[in-house]
Amino acid sequence: MTPDLDPMILAIFLPLFGAIAAFMLPRAAALIGLVTLAMTTGAVFWLAQRVLASGAVIVPLGGWGAPLGIDLRADGLSVAMLLLTSAVGFLVSVAALDSLKGADQARQRQYFWPLWLLLLTGMNGVYLSTDIFNLYVMIEVIALAAVGLTVLSGTKAALRAGLEYMYASILGALLFLMGVGFVYMQAGRLDFAGLIAAEPSAAMSAALALMIVGLLLKTALFPLHFWLPAAHANATAPASALLSGLVVKAALYIFLRLTTYMPLPDEILITLIGALGAGAVLWGGLQALRAERLKLLVAWSTVVQIGLIFIAFARAGQVGLAESWKAAALLILAHGVAKAAMFLAAGRIKDEIGHDRIRDLDRAPVRPTLAQFTFALAAISLIGLPPSLGFIGKWSLMEGAMAAGYWHWVAITMIGTFMSVAYFSRVLSAFLRFDRVRAPVGEHQGWALADAAPLTLALTAIGLGLMAAPILRFIEIGYPFGAAL
Amino acid sequence: MTLFLSAILVALLLSILAGLIRVFRGPAPAERMLAAQLFGTAAVAILLVLSQLMAMPALIDVAMVFALLAAVTLVAFVVLADREMR
Amino acid sequence: MTDPLVIFDLLLALAIVALAIAALSVRDLYAMIVLFVIFGLLSALAWVRLSAPDVALAEAAIGTGVTGALLLKTLHHLRFASGQRSACMTPAIPVPTGVMLANAAFCGLITLGLAVAFLGAPAAGPGFDALVAGAMPASGVDHPVTGVLLNFRAYDTLMEVVVLLAAVVAVWQIERGLSDAPSPEMGEVWQGFARLALPAIVVVGTYLLWVGAEAPGGAFQGGAVLAAVGLLLLLTRAYVPQPHHRGIARGAFVLGTGVFALVALLVAGGGRVAFEYPLDHAKTLILLIEGMVTISIAVTLAALFHGREPVALRKEVRHDT
Amino acid sequence: MTPDLIYGVTGIAVFGIGLVGALCAQERLRRVLALKLCSVGAGFLLVVGAWREPPDTPDPVPHALVITGIVVMVSATAVALALIRRLQTLEAEDDA
């Protein structure tokens, strides 16, 4: 009996089997991990082809069909997220091969792969799920694997940050679960179609509020970001890249879906979310300006970018909600690619120089030029300079805001952009001061695998800007999300 | 009959609540733990009465598990609080 | 006429709320755990009153039994590691009282809002009752909760086992080396007790697994009861995990997930999708999955209690600086 | 006064108490416990939603969900507690 293979099933089961194999055979874990990542990416491309050809596709697991069973569903947006996850994940894995090769990192190597593959299982599961309780279980898979990755280095700082992250994660998930309870009480079903069909009521509002607060906690929107900077700054480089580039996006994605199916009832709430985003941009920017360590600066820039994505969501108020998710999605993709590149580059710089104090970066005797170049390229996309994908995202954000006459969002975005120029140039100017100490030729590190992966990512972040139009067309497949259900 | 069984239930519950005072006030861990054990026994009794009242024979299984777990918890309490007992 | 059980319900509800408050406010952490265990068992009683014996079993065995043991173990470790009783309990940065009061008031408001929303929601509203009733004959089991867990929403259950796997991987990666908290000497009474209790627990655990197909019980409850065997063995030092047992342990951890996922994949084909068991074999497959998952749950919960990967002492490498 | 009303309010109260604890508790262990209380509160809500006036049997789906939730919560608790233990070991080593 040969099983019928479906790309959606493969996208979830391949990483799961990979995780099991990597856990059982710690010595071959890296090989298993890379092969799994490559195969998963292949499955996702297969799925993308299918979605391009025939629009949104559905698999009713167990043959029951929603609402009794659970359906997997892939449309343009979910495939875009899957592509982001597996492609960025593959490159981060390649970089991890190199950066976890030290003799004292045997333990990290042994556990990195199973945890990362479990994380991938959870994230792919989120992007394909159409059931809110299933989403709860998936975000818990993500949470546990992500905490495991955060504390991989075993330092006290990482453990403290990991514990805070764990508290925030569990609390966020439990708020979400409570929301699921209210949806069940009111609607009697838990699939997305049930959310769309449900009449507005006090219970549904409570459910929406609980789920949104839970997700905001998990995605670290200001002022619920308190756990993020320490957790992302203290993890090892590949883990930071995964956490910052990919993991926070899962909760963001659920947020986008939920607010499409259960529209926010009030203009004030949308403005409030935008205002929190503005707070994140300003506060995160200030903290990034003050950060003393490179990785901490990069982590604060994640807080800023998350804020920006929420501004993109709220940019044109209730009237623009049908369109604004696209700007948010573009920014999500842009940030995912660029931030992974930047964290990997920052990790390389820290490895080569031996520290990541921004103030002393220009005094280092070693010059990891390639990593510095990568960092600069990633900064271009994060600041939002043309032709990067970050630029397109910011542009469509401001375009929508201007069209609706919401000039305050334009102003905040501009301020945020100037601030990001300021804090990134703190780092870049240190890179450019060649004359302080001349690097001895012998100590100049050559080309390494760990440089190639982030460089590819950074170049992609810039290059994708040229493909913005096809990307936009692609994520609209199956839109509006609910129509095909 | 229903009324009688309900009265028994309430009495059992009250006996637990009385034991709670010991758990809360302590001061010795042994006192807290013994009160908890007493509760385990009362809970088994409550479950058995409930299985009659609610006509759910499956509750007898639940009671059995409660009884077993109470024994295991006792071991855990004693072994892991050993330092304080002395 | 009012149900005479209402008085019991009201008292129980009051006791549950009071215990929750007491557990959070009592000073002594040992008392906190004891209060929590009682709280959990009372919640289980409440769920019995709501005709949910399966949930009550799971809560009593896993939510309260295993969680309580984990908390106790951690408290034991904290007090051992810090040498004295109170040193570890002082927070690094005390939270100002004003902030705490503001937080509490905020939570109170949220709770009020939720209560209003709850009272406004339809009582005994729409549900899956009819759908489940219609699908039960095709599920391969007779107990609806088992049908939901292992057939209708088997995907959720698979992912739940994955969560358990992720937890044990994370715990093994977090804690390293041999246990440094010495286990106390066990007297002969305990050894005898363990010898008597173990077979009984094994029988009950297996019974729960078996009965799950038609009555409350099943893989999770059975697994948790069997995990109690592991706990007893570990507590009485009748079994001490050795480094060379790691392979077997790993195998036991992934057994449930692996078999579950494999079955789900392999049944696909011939017009069926993943998790769609052929009707003739549904019961066999479900029992197979349940059996394997039970083993995994029992071993994993016991390993979570033990907490650390058994590594030879010389391999202990500290990465912190 | 039916059980679902009584225990529904109980569940929400327990959730709220857990929330207060999660935000205000100072000891690490107590915060874990507070989160566990929240999860029990959420469990109450689902079980109450499933309840039907006897002799009708309750909806089994929420029961399955709560069982899943319980297992998920014990996993999360175990990880949080392992973090606490490891952190304590490291901190105690530094003090010594």
Q: Read off the CATH number of the domain in which D66 is found.
A: 1.10.287.3510
Q: Kindly report, residue by residue over A171-214, the tens digit of the pLDDT.
A: 999 999 999 999 999 999 999 988 988 888 889 999 999 999 99
Q: Kindly report, residue by residue over D19-78, the tens digit of the pLDDT.
A: 999 988 888 999 999 999 999 999 999 999 999 888 888 999 999 999 999 999 999 999
Predicted-complex ipTM score: 0.94
Backbone angles phi, psi at A58, to 5 degrees: -130, 140
Q: What's the CA gap between A382 and A377, in Å, rounded?
A: 9
Q: Do C9 and C93 reside in the same domain of the chain?
A: yes
Asked which of C126, C155, C173 is the last residue of a domain, the reply is C126
What does the pLDDT read at residue C93? 62
Residue C89 has pLDDT above 70, yes or no: no
| Within a domain: A478 | yes
A24 interfaces chain C, CB cutoff of 8 Å: yes
Q: Pick D25 or A218 by higher pLDDT.
A: A218
User: What's the domain count of chain C?
Assistant: 2
Query: Does the distance separating the beta carbons of A151 and C265 come in below 8 Å?
Result: no
Q: How far is CA A138 from CA A125, A248, A427, in A?
A: 6, 13, 37
- Ranges of each domain in chain B: 2-85
Q: Kindly report, residue by residue over C249-281, the tens digit of the pLDDT.
A: 999 999 999 999 999 998 887 778 889 898 888
Phi-psi region of C28 (alpha: psi -120 to 50; beta: other; left: phi over 0): beta
Residue with tokens 């129509």: A483
Q: What's the CA gap between B17 and B9, in Å, rounded?
A: 12
What does the pLDDT read at residue C96? 78
How large a percentage of chain A has pLDDT more than 90?
66
Angle at A180 between CA A169 and CA A164, to 5 degrees: 10
Q: Do C157 and C305 reside in the same domain of the chain?
A: yes
Query: Does the distance separating the beta carbons of C114 and A206 come in below 8 Å?
Result: yes
| Within a domain: A17 | no
Residue with tokens 């609209």: A476
Domain span including residue A460? 266-485
| Within a domain: A337 | yes
pLDDT tier for residue C193 given thresholds of 50, 70 and 90: confident
Q: Do C3 and C80 reside in the same domain of the chain?
A: yes
pLDDT tier for residue C211 given thresholds of 50, 70 and 90: confident
DSSP structural state of residue A73: E
Query: Does the distance separating the beta carbons of A163 and D76 come in below 8 Å?
Result: no
pLDDT tier for residue C184 given thresholds of 50, 70 and 90: low
Best C10, C30, C67, C84 member to test B by mutation, with max B CBs in 10 Å, is: C30
Which residue in chain D is spatially nearest to C318 when comparing CA positions? D90
Mean of pLDDT over chain A:
89
pLDDT tier for residue D9 given thresholds of 50, 70 and 90: very high
Q: Do C93 and C20 reside in the same domain of the chain?
A: yes
Q: Do C122 and C184 reside in the same domain of the chain?
A: no
Q: Kindly report, residue by residue over A394-449, the tens digit of the pLDDT.
A: 998 998 889 888 899 999 999 999 999 999 999 998 887 755 555 554 454 555 67
Q: What's the CA gap between A411 and A390, in Å, rounded?
A: 17
User: What's the domain count of chain D?
Assistant: 1
**CA-CA-CA-CA torsion for A84, A90, A95, A97, nearest 10 degrees?**
160
Taking the CA of residue D76 and the nearest CA in chain A, the distance in Å comes to: 7
Q: What's the CA gap between A422 and A428, in Å, rounded?
A: 10
Chains that touch D (3 or more CB pairs under 8 A): A, C
Name which of A473, A469, A463, A471 is nearest A338 in CA terms: A463
Chains that touch C (3 or more CB pairs under 8 A): A, B, D
> Positive or negative, the Cα torsion across A170, A172, A177, A182?
positive
Query: Does the distance separating the beta carbons of A147 and D69 come in below 8 Å?
Result: no
For the packed helices D3-24 and C29-49, what is the interaxial angle rounded to 10 degrees?
160
pLDDT tier for residue A3 given thresholds of 50, 70 and 90: low
C176 interfaces chain B, CB cutoff of 8 Å: no
Residue C314 has pLDDT above 90, yes or no: no
Question: Do residues A61 and C151 make contact, with C-beta atoms less than 8 angstroms apart?
Answer: no
CB atoms within 10 A of CB B45: 17
Q: How far is CA A73 from CA A251, A415, C158, in A?
A: 17, 39, 18
DSSP D4-62: HHHHHHHHHHHHHHHHHHHHH--SHHHHHHHHHHHHHHHHHHHHHHH---TTSPPPHHH
User: What's the domain count of chain A?
Assistant: 1
Q: Which of A11-15, B81-85, C112-116, C227-231 has the lowest mean pLDDT?
A: B81-85
Taking the CA of residue D39 and the nearest CA in chain A, the distance in Å comes to: 6
Q: Kindly report, residue by residue over C130-174, the tens digit of the pLDDT.
A: 899 999 998 888 899 999 999 999 999 999 999 999 999 999 999
Domain span including residue C39? 1-126
> Positive or negative, the Cα torsion across B36, C224, A146, D94?
positive
Q: Which residues of B touch C197 (CB under 8 A)?
A: 68, 71-72
Q: Do C185 and C271 reside in the same domain of the chain?
A: yes
A abuts B (3+ Cβ pairs < 8 Å):
no
Q: Do C187 and C48 reside in the same domain of the chain?
A: no
Q: Which residues of A touch D75 (CB under 8 A)?
A: 140, 144
CB atoms within 10 A of CB C288: 14
Question: Do residues C176 and C311 make contact, with C-beta atoms less than 8 angstroms apart?
Answer: yes
Q: What is the mean pLDDT of residues A53-64?
A: 90
Nearest by CB to A166, from D80, D90, D91: name it.
Answer: D80
Coil, strand, or helix at residue A2?
Answer: coil
Which residue in chain C is spatially nearest to D39 when comparing CA positions? C63
Which residue in chain D is spatially nearest to C59 when comparing CA positions? D70
Name which of A454, B63, C320, A89 is nearest D92 in CA terms: C320
Residue with tokens 């949220």: C110
Question: Do residues C80 and C87 make contact, with C-beta atoms less than 8 angstroms apart?
Answer: no
What does the pLDDT read at residue D1? 74
Query: Does the distance separating the beta carbons of C131 and A154 come in below 8 Å?
Result: no
Domain span including residue D18? 3-95
Q: What's the CA gap between C305 and C296, in Å, rounded?
A: 14
